[in-house]
Amino acid sequence: MTWLLLAEQTLNGLQQGVMLFLMAAGLTLVFGIMNLLNLAHGSLYMVGAYVTASVVQASGSFGLGVLAGMAAAALAGGLIELIALRRLYARDHLDQVLATFGLILFFNELVKILWGPQALFLDVPQALQGTVDLMGTPYPAYRLFIIAVGLLVALGLRVLIVNTKVGMLIRAGSTHREMVGALGVDIARLYTVVFAIGAMLAGLAGALAGPMLAVQVGMGENILILTFVVIIVGGIGSVRGALVGALLVGMVDTFGRAFLPMALRAAMDPAAADSVGASISGMSIYILMAAVLMVRPRGLFQAYGGG
C-alpha cells in the first residue's frame, strides 16, 4: 500500500460519505423532529435522479437538471406528506413502516409508467469530465465536485438550523411542539416544510449520483439501508451526527473494500483472500454500528432538534 493509494481511497470514502450525508440529513430531520419512520425516502432519491436525467437529456444543462431534480423531489415529498403521511404521526412505527413501504411500491410503478422499465444513463457534465492532479495521482474532478457540494450543504444546514428563525422553530418544534403550537406557529405547515427540505436533499443526492450509477427503478432501496446505518451511528435527530456518521460509514466501507483483500493475501490464497475480504468488508459497516451502539446506545450525538 502506498501513500498515494491511501489518499485516493480516503477521497473515495469522503465522496461516499457526503453522498450518504445528503440522504441521512433529510431522513434524520424527519425521524428526529416528526418521529416519522419514512422508508420512502429512497424513492425521493430515485425521483431526483430520473427528473435530472430527463431534463439534462432535453436541455443539455446539468445544472438545470440538478435544480429540476431537487424541485421535483421537494414537490413529491410535500405532496406525500400532505396526502398520506400527515395521518401517521400519531400512529406507531409499524403502521408508518407499512404505509411508507406501500409508497415505495407506488413510486416504483409510477416511474415505470412515466419512464419505462429500462435504465437511463447520464454522462458526467463536460466541465467536470477531467481529472485533478493530487500529488501525482489523477483524481476525477466530478468526485471532488460531489465532496465540495456535500460539505457546502452541511454548512448551509448548520446555518439554517442554528442561525435562522426557521431553524429555531424546527428545534423548538421537535421537543416542545405543543408549546410552539400554543404560541401560534402552524406545526402542520412546519412539518411539511421540514419534510420538503429532507426530500429536496434526497433529490440532490439522486441528481449527483446519476452520472456515476445507472438511473433505474428501485435504485433508492440499497442506499436507504446504508442511510439508516448512518443515522443510527450518528444519533437519530442530529444533523451533526448524520455528517459524522456518514463520513465514518463511507470511510469504513471504502477502506474495507480496498484494503481487506490486500491484507488477507499475506495469509491465504489470493482468490480466497479476495472472497473472504469482500465478505468481511460487506459486514464492516454493521460491525461499526454494533460497536458504536455498545458504547453509546443512542448514537454518537444527542439530538437537539436537528443539531
Question: For residue range 294-305, what is the model confidence (pLDDT) as tens digits?
Answer: 999 888 887 654
Give the lowest-confidence range in 40-44, 140-144, 176-180, 190-194: 176-180
Q: How many C-alpha atoms does 255 have within 13 Å on its Cβ side?
A: 14
Give the lowest-confidence range in 29-33, 71-75, 151-155, 181-185: 181-185
Give the pLDDT mean for 19-37.
Answer: 84
Confidence band (pLDDT; 50, 70, 90) for 148? very high
Task: State the pLDDT at residue 177.
Answer: 63
When comparing pLDDT for 217 and 165, which is higher? 217
Confidence band (pLDDT; 50, 70, 90) for 139? confident
Give the pLDDT mean for 170-175.
Answer: 64
Q: Please state, in angstroms and rounded to a whole number, the distance separating the CA atoms of residues 2 and 259.
A: 11
In our burial notation (b when 16+ CB lie closer than 10 A, e otherwise), range 211-224 reads: bebebbbebbeebb
Residues paired with residue 140 on neighbouring β-strands, in sequence order = 131
When comparing pLDDT for 230 and 271, which is higher? 230
Task: State the pLDDT at residue 306.
Answer: 41
Task: State the pLDDT at residue 179.
Answer: 67
Confidence band (pLDDT; 50, 70, 90) for 266? confident
Tell if the pTM clears 0.75, that is, is over it.
yes
Confidence band (pLDDT; 50, 70, 90) for 50? very high
- Statement: residue 174 has pLDDT above 80: no
Give the pLDDT mean for 221-244.
Answer: 88
Type of residue numbered 172: A
Confidence band (pLDDT; 50, 70, 90) for 54? very high
Confidence band (pLDDT; 50, 70, 90) for 88? confident
Give the lowest-confidence range in 8-12, 121-125, 134-138, 250-254: 134-138
Domain layout of the chain by residue ranges: 3-217
DSSP string, the chain: --HHHHHHHHHHHHHHHHHHHHHHHHHHHHHHHH----TTHHHHHHHHHHHHHHHHHHH--HHHHHHHHHHHHHHHHHHHHHHTGGGGTTS-HHHHHHHHHHHHHHHHHHHHHHH-SS-B--PPPGGGSSEEEETTEEEEHHHHHHHHHHHHHHHHHHHHHHHSHHHHHHHHHHH-HHHHHHTT--HHHHHHHHHHHHHHHHHHHHHHHTTTS-B-TTHHHHHHHHHHHHHHHH-TTBHHHHHHHHHHHHHHHHHHHHHHHHHHTTTS-HHHHHHHHHHHHHHHHHHHHHHHHHH-TT-SS--SSB-
pLDDT in tens, 192-211: 888 999 999 999 999 999 89
Structure-block grid coordinates of residue 162: 442554528
Q: What percent of the chain has pLDDT over 90?
A: 39
Task: State the pLDDT at residue 79.
Answer: 92
Dmax (CA) for the chain in angstroms is: 68
Residues in the chain: 307
Q: What percent of the chain has pLDDT over 70?
A: 92
Give Cα separations from 178 to 172, 174, 187, 188 (angstroms). Answer: 10, 10, 9, 12
When comparing pLDDT for 93 and 219, which is higher? 219
Highest mean pLDDT among 37-51, 161-175, 270-284: 37-51
